[in-house]
Each structure stands twice: as structure tokens, then as C-alpha cells.
Structure 1
Amino acid sequence: MQEQQAGATDRGRVWRQDQQPAYPSWDASSPATVYGASPARRRGRRSGRRRGRAALAFGVVLLLAAVGVVWWLTRPPTLPTIPAQYLATVQSAAKTCPELSVPMLAAQLDAESHWDPRADSGQAQGIAQFHPSTWAEWGKDFTGDGKADVWNPADAIPAQGAYMCHLFKQVKNVPGDPTQLALAAYNAGPGAVLKARGIPEIPETQNYVNRIEALIPKYTQTYTKQISASPSPPGN
């Protein structure tokens, strides 16, 4: 009886092939079974992560580039400053006559040579760009070394101040702004200003005057900061 029941039980556990449960096959030798994914799928995931990191890095680069462009477009303009080694010389030259000022002489030197004492245009020389014939008349040995040297700013800048004072006198009866007229005379010669009864219609001269006029307020701003930052002489 027990054998019949056991046989019945065993027969009850026997499934036909078309009644096998839909369980996935398991093969211990399959890498997909051991690691949970096929090699191709794992490579795909790694490749996807690499692409994601590359896209993130590219986005960061674009963001930094955009920030740099915005900074460049919105940065405050850089203002010109009198080089420290020439400051005292320009201050002294500006005292030559009342018409001169430190910012004006500084702006003129900037326009003439960009503060380069070795500047040579072929027709004018030195930091103040004197023509040889003009230097022969106005160049002096301001340093006391026995030589009037157009290449020495310590000689050229005081000569610039003295010559500008002379030009202010030359054009004083010409209608117009005295500073603009004197600057035009420095560039084109006083005879050209007197003949034109104003600034000559010479593009180079007109651009020269306009450039210096634009630089004067900038040098005024930076010169004010320079003298406020300079230590006061003893006893003051």
C-alpha cells in the first residue's frame, strides 16, 4: 500500500516536457551567470560612463570659456600710468611754465614713444621724439654730465617741457584751444599752425592731438593715485 502511494506520489511529481516551469537555465561556466552581465554589455556600460565623463568635461570647458569671454568684455579698462622712473622728471618739467601739467606731458610722451627712450622713427628720436634740427636748438645738458643727449630721458623730458612752453607763446594769438594748438605745433611745426590759423588739416597732426586729448584725463586719474600713494617728503 505504501509502495503504491509512493509510486503515485512520484508519478505526481513527473512533468511532461511541455509542462516544464519556465525557469532560466543556469550554467556555471557562463560568464553572464558568474558576473551578472555579458562582456559586451559590461564594455557598453564602461563606454557609456566614459562618454558621460567626456561630455561633462567638455561642458565644464565651455562654461569656463564663457566666463572668460564675459570677464574680457566687462573688465574695467586698463589706464596708463607714468613709469615710476620718469615720474620725478615729468613733475619737474611740468613746472617750466603755467600752461603745462604732469598729465599733459605724460600723455604727450605716451603718444610720441610709448615711454620708450630708444624710440627712433627715422625722423625723430628718443622718448620725446625730437627732430635733430629741433634738438640742436632746444636740447640741453639737464643732467650736468657734459652732454645734451636726446636718448636720455633726463635730458629729453625737460627739453620737451621747455619747447612746449615756447610753442604756447608762439600760438597764443591763434584762435582755438591753446593746448591743442601747442600740441599741433609740436607735431607739425609752429609755422604750420600759424599758417592754418588753427590746427592744420593734416591727418597725422589731427590724430596726434586727438589721441593726447583722450589720454590726458586717463593720466590725470592715475597720476592722482600715484601722488596719493607716494610717501610724503620728510618735514611735510
Structure 2
Amino acid sequence: MRIATVLRAPLAVALASLLGLLLLGAASEEEPAGAPSGVDPSRLPAAARSSLPLIIDLTARHCPELPPVWVVAQVQAESGWDAAATSGDAAGLYQFDERNWTAAGGDRWGSVPPPPGADVTDARSHLRVAIPWVCANLRAVTGHLAATGKPADPLDAMLVCHIAGCRRVAQSATGIPEAGEAGCGLRCAQLIRGYLGSVHGYLDRYAAPADPPPPGDRAPAEPADPAPAAPQAPVVPYAGGPGGCTLPDPTGGRCLTGATRHGLETAAAVFGGWRDGPVIRSAGCWDAHAWNPRSDHPRGQACDLFPTQPGVFPEGAELAAGWRLAEWFRSNAGPLRVKYLIWQGRYWDPGVTDSGGWGRRYTGGGVYDVRDATGGHYDHLHVSFAE
């Protein structure tokens, strides 16, 4: 039996349980005109490829914080892009049941499964109804996570909403329920994790390749020789502290969490400062990041550390300095509570196995142009902290 059929709870009821947090999860600024969709059309099933222009249009106009590649990947996990797919009382690309479909604005079916010609089984009609509904879930959980400081990525929490009900997000400690919380037993938690894993697998499959800038205008994604050894100075583990974004941000932002402030100060001590230092030339931590509301920066949980000038592809000593910094954070991820790193067009977190180089290819999530020095994280190391 499909995951959606096993776990799906009425989303209209679940959204109400978030106590109106839609108001907190306001839409981000739209991406600039011509921003990449983040999707490689050549990798898509034919049905997804034909629907991609509509997906890009709907997300750009109504939900810019929902990357098109996430729509493509979630629908693939739900229905395999079979618009007529049915499973139990669920139907269509996103596998809605009739209650949620009509709550989203679709027509009643009159029978289960829906009759031929029903709007829920027409791909274009389905996407026009479903994408705003999924976006409402995304905005609800974005507001909830920001208000509570839970560490889940809003897009992952959106998936939990869809597969198991938004109350699982609201009643869990992190936004992703573990067995024994939010009314979720072991089987429930396993199915949710499996669903998220499936969608992420399709994200990797369908994401646009990170085409590098032209030769001569960029540094290589990997150093020609192994990165210099990380400094051996002892690292004091983060011992915990006040919750939330409450500490001053010395880089000029609004606030930082305890782990972020500790990580920044520890790196500065090891590498000779974070402003005009021999390794870190400049740094920025808290930032509103209105174009990317799921970023850790507005939560005070991330810093960008620049071994070169912003907008410049580092070379020579600056590139080597960046690799020293990246390797040091990776080596000390546990004691420093590092959540993930992005550097030189690559992404790494403690659960990632190296694939084709350091970490895995960074896709930009449909938000950033990975060919750009800043968008691809060539000019800076992004460090996110788990608390």
C-alpha cells in the first residue's frame, strides 16, 4: 500500500491546527527574471517535461519559495507522473483524496475512484489546484518553524504535511516526527523518512547540472592537490546555551544562536580572525535572505566565510585557504554542531558520502545560479549549524 494512502491526514484540519501560522509564513521575494528553474528537462519523464512550463509559471507567480524541481520530484514520488493514477481513495498527480481536493478548490468527484474526465485526473487542472495548496502548507510550516526554532527544512516539513498531516510537524520536536511523538509510531516514522528519502532521490536525479563557469574565469571545483591539512589546534566542543537566535552577531547581523556564535568564534581563534585575516577575509552571518526564506541565515544558524573578495572565483593561496577552512569544519562537525557545508559547488553534511569529489554536487535548490561565484558558493564557505 502506498505511503500516501497509509498516512495522509486531512490537510485542511491539519493546517488549522497550526493556529493560523500562515500569517507568519509570508511569501519571499520572487526570483529575478530569468532565474534558473533548477530542473534539467532532459532527465524528466515525458509527462513531467510537458508540464514543466506550467509549473515554472505557477511557482514564479504564486509561490516563488517553492522550487520547480521540488514539484517535479514530489509528483514523481506520489504518482510517477501518471495523472490518472489512483490508490485507495487518492487520485491524480499529487494523490489527493476527495476531501482535500475540494478543500483546495477542485470539483467533487461523485465516486471513488473519480470518473473519467474529472479535473483531479487532468494534469493541467490538477497542478493549478494542487500547487497553491502545497504552497499553503509550505508557508504554514515555514511560519511554524521560524516561530518555534525547530531545525527542519521547511520544504521537508511541507512533505510531512502532505504525507502525514501538518499536525505531525506542529507536534514534533524538530518538525520531522520520530517514533513515539506527534502520534507517530515506528511504522509511521519509517514511512515518513522513506517518503522524504524518495523525494530527495528524485531531486538529485532531476536537478539541473551545475555547469561551471568558462575555463579561465573560475577556480577548479576540487584542488589539483589534496587540500592542506586542517590546523591541529584543539577545538572546544559546543556545550549548549540559550535557545533561539538571542546572541549578538559580531558580523553586524541581528542575532545568532549559541552554536553559530561558538563556531564563528572558534574558527576566528584558529584561523587568525574573521575580518581581513590570513584565511577568512570577511564573514556574514545573520541576514534576512528574503529571496530564500528556508535559509538558515534568518534563523541565526549560518555564516558565510569568504577567503576571497565576494563575487571572485578564488585561486592559488585563497583557494587553498578556503579548502583548509572547509576541511577544518568538516573534521570538527561533531563538536561544533555543524549541520552542513557548501563550498566550491559542493554540498556536504554528516550523512553525505563523497560522490564525484568532496561531498556531492550542489544544485542550488532552484534558488541560486550555481555557475555564479556566489550562487555556486565558490567565493565563500557556507556553514549551517544544527542549533
Give the TM-score category using the shorter length: 0.5 to 0.7
1:154 corresponding residue in structure 2: 124
1:123 corresponding residue in structure 2: 89
Which residue, out of 149, 154, 158, partners 1:178? 154
* Highest RCO, 1 vs 2 (Cα 8 Å, sep ≥ 6): 2
2:50 corresponding residue in structure 1: 85
1:50 corresponding residue in structure 2: none
Deviations along 1:146-197, one digit per CA (max 9) or x if unpaired, are x971111111112221112111122122211111011111111112211124
1:167 corresponding residue in structure 2: 137
RMSD after superposition: 2.4
2: CA distance, partners of 1:110 / 1:139: 22
2:267 corresponding residue in structure 1: none
2:172 counterpart of 1:196: yes
1: CA distance, partners of 2:58 / 2:192: 23
With normalisation by structure 2, the TM-score equals 0.34
With normalisation by structure 1, the TM-score equals 0.54
2: CA distance, partners of 1:99 / 1:193: 19
Equivalent position SS for 1:150:
helix
Q: More helix by proportion, 1 or 2?
A: 1
2: CA distance, partners of 1:119 / 1:203: 24
Q: More strand by proportion, 1 or 2?
A: 2
**Conserved? CA contact 1:92–1:158, under 8 Å:** no
1:106 corresponding residue in structure 2: 72
Deviations along 1:99-146, one digit per CA (max 9) or x if unpaired, are 1111110001100000001111113111111121110111347xxxxx
Q: CA deviation at 1:80?
A: 4.2
1: CA distance, partners of 2:139 / 2:79: 25
| Equivalences, count | 141
1:214 corresponding residue in structure 2: 201
Q: CA deviation at 1:200?
A: 2.2
Worse-superposed segment, 200-209 or 119-128: 200-209
2: CA distance, partners of 1:203 / 1:188: 12
Fraction of identical pairs, as percent: 28
Query: Where does the alignment leave 5 or more consecutive residues of structure 2 unmatched?
Result: 1-41, 108-116, 179-188, 212-387
Structure 2 counterpart of 1:126, which letter? G
**Conserved? CA contact 1:107–1:219, under 8 Å:** yes
Equivalent position SS for 2:168:
helix
Distance 1:195 1:148, change over 3 A: farther
